[in-house]
Amino acid sequence: MVGDSEALKRLENYDRDNLVISTLCSHTSLQIFNGAKKEGFRTLGISIGSPPKFYEAFPNAKPDEFYVVDEHEHILTKADELCKKNVILIPHGSFVEYLGPENFEKLEVPTFGNRKVLGWESSRIKEREWLESAGIEMPRLFNEPEQIDRPVVVKFDGAKGGRGFFIVKNFEEFKRVNPTQTYSIQEYVLGTRYYLHYFYSPIREEGYKLSKGSLELLSIDRRDETNIDEMYKLGSQEELKKLNIYPSFVVTGNVPLTIRESLLEEVFDMGEKVVEKSFDLFGGIIGPFCLETIVNDKLEFKVFEVSARIVAGTNPFISGSPYSDLLGPDLSTGRRIAQEILMANEMDRLDEILS
Ligand code: AMP
């Protein structure tokens, strides 16, 4: 059981033969609705203002019903209405971000996954505590700028959407950035990026088994980031600095990937460690999560972030990936979430996957 929250108590009044899968219309919603429909669920799209017209263009992903609110915070006051509709909420990056992790935790509607994870992933300090205590290699942190002895990324606290990151190569350059906000300094890891999409099920007891439940790898992507990914076409970063052009890391899309097969052992090992540690720290991470990694030329992984829910990098895989195809056909992360809810409901174990 992941929690005894007010939200879970509301399940007692649910018509469990008619559960409705719902999320905020954004981010991975097309995939979530499409996956839920494939598993036979009704779907409800929470929209801020009128629903975007593009849902009309995708009948296999358009929710059966839209629920319109004026602003994100209003969702907090709609718990009764949503629960009357037998809604199970699926968190995604934009849903948690726009509502705020603290508000999201308070939302009294049964929600897929363990909401206690939010406090651990929304703080860079706690995230590092979790990953490092699990035995995961992270980029080195520099406590004082004077210690900078290699290329680093200066990350401003609260930097959103990849803005507010600076690459500096030494202390002299750092002084020119002249930061006025709080920041952290992280070693710049040179290598290739892999965003690993896992799924942990506490109730599936076959496959890659953990101390409880099992771990799956559903897909891998790389983010497309503007302007860093394309700025080389205009000249070197040093040249461009003279024109006041600096790299930004704003995500605009996602590219599907596979990884060298020999690295899969380590991929699973890292996922396993992160899940096992989460049991001790906050009762377990449940469902989809992503380790954002860089592999260097010694084939070593460094993890610079964990996202504890479905990530937008799963969007290229609506009809499966080279990894999920080895689990079952036509399997997106959105569909896997729906399958987990279906399975837990049949087993009468919803309280183990919802909070
Ligand atoms: P984040 O907001 O932490 O997901 O980082 C945004 C982007 O910055 C990543 O997708 C990477 O391209 C880059 N990045 C972040 N941390 C590092 C690091 N330690 N070394 C190299 N690149 C990084």
Question: What residue owns the CA closest to ligand 1's atom 11?
Answer: 249
Count the neighbouring beta carbons within 10 Å of the beta carbon of residue 197: 26
**Ligand 1 atom nearest residue 223's Cα:** 10
Question: What residue owns the CA closest to ligand 1's atom 7?
Answer: 249
Average pLDDT over residues 242-264: 95
Question: Taking the model in full, what pTM does it have?
Answer: 0.96
pLDDT, tens digit (0-9, with 9 covering 90-100), for 261-292: 999 999 999 999 999 999 999 999 999 999 99
Query: At 89, phi and psi to the nearest 5?
Result: -85, 140
Contact, 354 vs 6, CB < 8 A? no
C-alpha 212 to ligand 1 mean position (Å) = 32
Strands (E), the chain: 20-24, 42-48, 65-69, 87-89, 141-142, 152-156, 165-168, 183-187, 192-201, 208-209, 214-227, 249-256, 287-295, 301-307
C-alpha 169 to ligand 1 mean position (Å) = 15
Distance CA 287, CA 273 (A): 15
Measured in whole angstroms, the distance separating CA 126 from the mean position of its chain's CA atoms is: 16
pLDDT, tens digit (0-9, with 9 covering 90-100), for 220-239: 999 999 999 999 999 998 89
305 lines ligand 1 (CB under 6 A): yes
Average pLDDT over residues 204-208: 97
**Ligand 1 atom nearest residue 191's Cα:** 21
Question: What residue owns the CA closest to ligand 1's atom 17?
Answer: 188
